[in-house]
Structures are given as C-alpha cells and as structure tokens.
Amino acid sequence: MSLTLALADKAGLQWAQSMVTQYHYLKKPVDIRSRPISYHVLQGGERVGCLIFSRPESTFCRGWYGSVEDVQFGICPLTRWQVLNLSRVWLHPSIQQGGAHFIASAASQVIGQALKRVGYDYLIEMPVLWMEEPYEIAQCLSYCDTRVHQGTLYRACNFRWMRKNEDGIETYVRPLRRLTHAEHRHIQARSEHDPRAQRLRRERDYQQLSWLSEMEAV
C-alpha cells in the first residue's frame, strides 16, 4: 500500500512533536520559535510517521543566507526567509526494514512528496509578513549527525552535501521548485488577510513614520 501525506493542523503538529520526542534519536521536539509545520505520513488512512519542517535556527550563514541587507551587499545570495529546514523525519518501525508492513524506500518516498509542496504549504500556514521582500523558499536544508547516520537518505533524495562542522554534523541542501503564478496569488491573499501579518506591518509603518517625524524635527 502506498504512502501519502496530510498537512497537519495544530493538534496534528502536537502529535508529531510528541512522536519525535519519544522515538527520534534527538529525543526532543522542534523549537516552536522556528515556526514548525508537520506532515503526517498515512498508510490506508492510518498515521505511520511524520515530517517536520521549520525555519533554520541560524539566521545567518556567510556566503549562503542572511538578512535582506546581506543579500543587497552581496554577502549572501539568499535571505533567511528563502531557506527551510527538514527538522525531523520519523517512520513507524512497522513500515521500515524488518517491519510487518515494510515499504522499500519509504522515507525517500515521503520526503520527495513533501519537497514538492512544502514551499507553498509553508507560506500558507505561516503567512508572509513583507511581500515586498524575497519570500519564495528556494532551498531546503537538513542536518546529519555522522555519529548516528551516514547521510544515505539525503543522497537518495537528491540532497547535495554542503559541509561538515567540528562536531561531525553534516549539512545537506536541495533546491525547491518555483511557485506557480496562482500560488503566488494565494500566498499574497493569505498575507493580506492574516491578523498577525497585518499587525506587524502596522507596527513597522508606525515606527517608520515616527523615525521620519524625528528626522524632520532635527
């Protein structure tokens, strides 16, 4: 039986966080400050795993991503808003090798499905604040602890090896597809009507007006 994905709601994200806390080798949920979303992996309507995507914890990586100003000054080609992190992958042992319902290449199958849609789904779930700044998610990264894994899954999913730090953590990256014109319109509409995005835009406009008033008074 094939595997499908379902975008999780708030309760579904909590379920995914509880699963990775219990069974993922890191034994901890994804930091909520990184604004995670989750997909449930389904087999015949039953949940048999989950994927969690979030913003990278690091907001700057020289030569790769950073602030809008970093891009403008040529320090980085991408803003941090154009990068997403595949933070957790968990599949029930029953569909892994040796399980009663083993599915060959189950992990690469569901990751492939998710990467085709996460660039759009994420911006619908987490509305864009500043539409005038680059927002389209261009790349998905993920980390591999070489003390535990060998990165085989990432290579099978066409991720490219980027680097390895002194702690043995490897970084892999894969480009995401471009959004369609219709998807851009949906994302813009979602941003325009989102209460949080509206509030933050009002606050920034007020701060800018206050700064201009102070400059004119000097």
Q: What CA dihedral angle connects 13, 17, 23 and 25, to 10 degrees?
A: 120
Length of the chain: 218
Task: Provide the pLDDT for residue 146.
Answer: 85
| Cβ atoms < 10 Å from Cβ of 217 | 6
Q: How far apart are CA 37 and CA 57, in angstroms?
A: 15
For 73-140, the three-class secondary structure string (H helix, E strand, C coil) is CCCCCEEHHHEEEEEEEEECHHHCCCCCCCCCCHHHHHHHHHHHHHHHHHHHHCCCCCCCCCCCCCEE
Q: Which domains does the chain have, with CATH numbers?
A: 3-217 (3.40.630.30)
First to last CA, the chain: 71
In this structure, are residues 50 and 92 in contact, taking their beta carbons and an 8 Å threshold? Answer: no
Write out the two tokens for 43: 């087999």
Write out the two tokens for 119: 């660039």
pTM of the complete model: 0.92
pLDDT tens-digit profile, the chain (218 residues) = 689 999 999 999 999 999 999 999 999 999 999 999 999 999 989 999 999 999 998 999 999 999 999 999 999 999 999 999 999 999 999 999 899 999 999 999 999 999 999 999 999 999 999 999 999 999 999 999 888 888 889 999 999 999 998 888 899 999 999 999 999 999 999 999 999 999 999 998 767 666 656 655 55
Task: Provide the pLDDT for residue 204.
Answer: 85
Task: Provide the pLDDT for residue 108.
Answer: 95
Task: Provide the pLDDT for residue 167.
Answer: 86
